[in-house]
C-alpha cells in the first residue's frame, strides 16, 4: 500500500461516527466520500446481490425500490463509433 500524496491528503476530510452520543469510529476519506456520508444516505447491504458469475450485480447509478427491496441498473449505452 502506498502513502497518499500531499495533494491527496489536502483533499481528505475526517469525521467522527457517533451512535447514541458515543464516538464509535473515526473515518478519514476523500472529500467526495465524506460529502456522501454526511448527506444522510441509506446504507443497504448488497453483499449477496450477485449475478450468475458471482459478480456484484448492483452498479453505480442504479435506482433502489424500497417497497420491493430491489435495484434497477441503468441501461448500458453501446455505441458503434
Q: What angle do CA 21, 25, 28 make, to 5 degrees?
A: 125
For the chain, helix, strand, coil in percent to 5 are 15, 30, 55
Confidence band (pLDDT; 50, 70, 90) for 81? low
Residue range 16-42, pLDDT digits in tens: 999 999 999 999 999 999 999 999 999
Report the C-alpha gap between 54 and 44 in whole angstroms. 19
- Per-residue pLDDT at 65: 96
Q: Give the single-character DSSP code of 72.
A: E
Average pLDDT over residues 50-62: 92
CB 12 within 8 A of CB 27: no
* Percent with pLDDT over 90 in the chain: 72
Q: Tell me the pLDDT of the chain averaged across its residues.
A: 89
Residue bearing the bigger pLDDT, 33 or 5: 33
Amino acid at each position: 500500500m502506498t502513502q497518499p500524496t500531499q495533494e491527496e491528503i489536502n483533499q481528505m476530510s475526517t469525521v467522527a461516527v457517533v451512535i447514541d452520543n458515543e464516538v464509535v469510529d473515526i473515518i478519514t476519506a476523500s472529500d467526495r466520500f465524506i460529502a456522501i456520508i454526511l448527506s444522510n444516505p441509506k446504507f443497504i447491504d448488497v453483499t449477496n446481490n450477485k449475478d450468475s458469475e458471482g459478480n456484484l450485480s448492483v452498479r453505480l447509478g442504479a435506482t433502489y425500490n424500497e417497497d420491493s427491496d430491489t435495484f434497477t441498473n441503468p441501461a448500458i449505452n453501446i455505441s458503434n463509433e
